[in-house]
């Protein structure tokens, strides 16, 4: 099962404004390293959150695990969050919808 990496932009009223799937990796370590090194400049001076999701194959696939990261402007890097951000409650499968 692949690990999908999706960026999320929060703007007005602290609601999701837009998102973009950057890609996926078969192995967690590869997805982790891509985020940790900001491979491909995934913040694009725009996105302030990333979600990394472990999604099974199929129609209406189940998300088995998700990790959230937020962009730190001061350190210019992604930082793993300890849980889901407030705006994502009740929302799953950001990558495939």
The rounded Cα 85 to chain-centroid distance in angstroms is 11
pLDDT digits (tens, 9 = 90+) for 23-51: 999 999 999 999 999 999 998 888 899 99
8 A C-beta contact, residue 6 and residue 25: no
C-alpha span between 54 and 63 (Å, rounded): 6
**pTM: predicted TM-score of the whole model, two decimal places:** 0.89
Query: For the chain, where are the E strands, in sequence order?
Result: 3-10, 16-25, 49-55, 63-72, 77-80
For residue 73, what are its two tokens? 């402007």
pLDDT digits (tens, 9 = 90+) for 80-90: 999 998 888 88
Q: In sequence order, what are the beta bridge partners of 50?
A: 7, 69
């Amino acid at each position: 099962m692949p690990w999908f990496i999706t960026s999320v932009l929060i703007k007005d009223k602290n609601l999701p404004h837009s998102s973009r799937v950057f890609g996926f990796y078969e192995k967690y370590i590869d997805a982790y390293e891509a985020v940790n090194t900001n491979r491909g400049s995934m913040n694009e001076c725009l996105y302030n959150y990333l979600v990394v999701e472990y999604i099974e194959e199929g129609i209406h696939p189940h998300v088995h695990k998700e990790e959230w990261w937020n962009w730190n402007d001061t350190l210019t890097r992604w930082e793993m969050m300890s849980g889901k951000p407030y705006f994502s409650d009740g929302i799953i499968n950001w990558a495939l919808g």
